[in-house]
Amino acid sequence: MKTLIIVDVQNDFMPGGALEVKGADKIIPVINNISEKFDLVIATQDWHPENHTSFASNHLHKKPFEKITIHGKEETLWPDHCIQGSYGAEFYPDLNTNTVAAIFRKGMNPEIDSYSGFYDNHHQISTGLSGYLKEKNASNLYFCGLATDICVYFTIKDAISEGFSATLIEDAAQPLDNQNYQQLKKELIQSGVSIINSKNLIN
């Protein structure tokens, strides 16, 4: 089953949002255009409590994008974003969600960040996405959304680890740091990930 995973297309990642990904809005028409070409469409949603440990505001004298050690692992601190129930956590209103069959929320544990749509960053808690996809016999996964070098990247990595085939639709995703993405792109290709343009999608 040909499946599209839309990663974190939420207001806080849009231009002017709390954790802005520059140019993020330009991928919306692309996603809307391709979503109906898939048998199954899934969306992930960052859904943080206010006291999330990844927020710089919850650490004295710390600023966004600083790195600290939390539970023995290095973590990046972020601006407060995608807080449960907030406007920033809502899907971008121009995104057509009519085709979305299921939404998987992540980052709900205040103690552990969760970039991937499959697991938290420590791989302790599953979102249930893998089991859902296997139940649906969805082995051929396509990925888009935000940000290519963070949540999309880690979601694809976990998809590969779970035994799925993975294709990144590059023009339907946008990185936070393009230089970082260019390095990660090489790694993804070496891992067997296909990277295509939306124009190359076959109906």
How far, in Å, CA of 145 to CA of 95, rounded?
11
Residue 186 counted as domain residue: yes
DSSP SS3 for 91 = strand
Residue 27 counted as domain residue: yes
Residue 68 counted as domain residue: no
Its domain, for residue 160, covers 2-49+81-200
How far, in Å, CA of 11 to CA of 3, rounded?
24
Residue 69 counted as domain residue: no
pTM of the complete model: 0.96
Range 183-192, long-range pairs (CB < 8 A, 24+ positions)? 184/148, 184/149, 184/153, 188/153, 188/156, 188/157, 191/157, 191/160, 192/160, 192/165, 192/166
* DSSP label of 26: G
Q: Which two tokens stand for residue 52?
A: 């999330």
Q: Return the beta strands (E) in the chain as ranges.
A: 2-7, 40-46, 67-70, 73-76, 100-106, 140-146, 165-174, 194-196
Report the CATH number at residue 108. 3.40.50.850
Number of domains in the chain: 1
- Catalytically active residues are 8, 106, 151
Task: Reply yes or no on whether the pLDDT at 203 is more than 90.
Answer: no
pLDDT at 73: 84
pLDDT at 5: 98
Residue 169 counted as domain residue: yes
- Give the residue among 174, 172, 176 at the shortest CA–CA distance from 201: 172
Residue 190 counted as domain residue: yes
Q: Model confidence over 170-192: pLDDT tens digits?
A: 999 999 999 999 999 999 999 99
Per the listing, tokens 């939404």 go with 103
Q: Model confidence over 120-133: pLDDT tens digits?
A: 999 999 999 999 99
Residue 74 counted as domain residue: no
Residue 92 counted as domain residue: yes
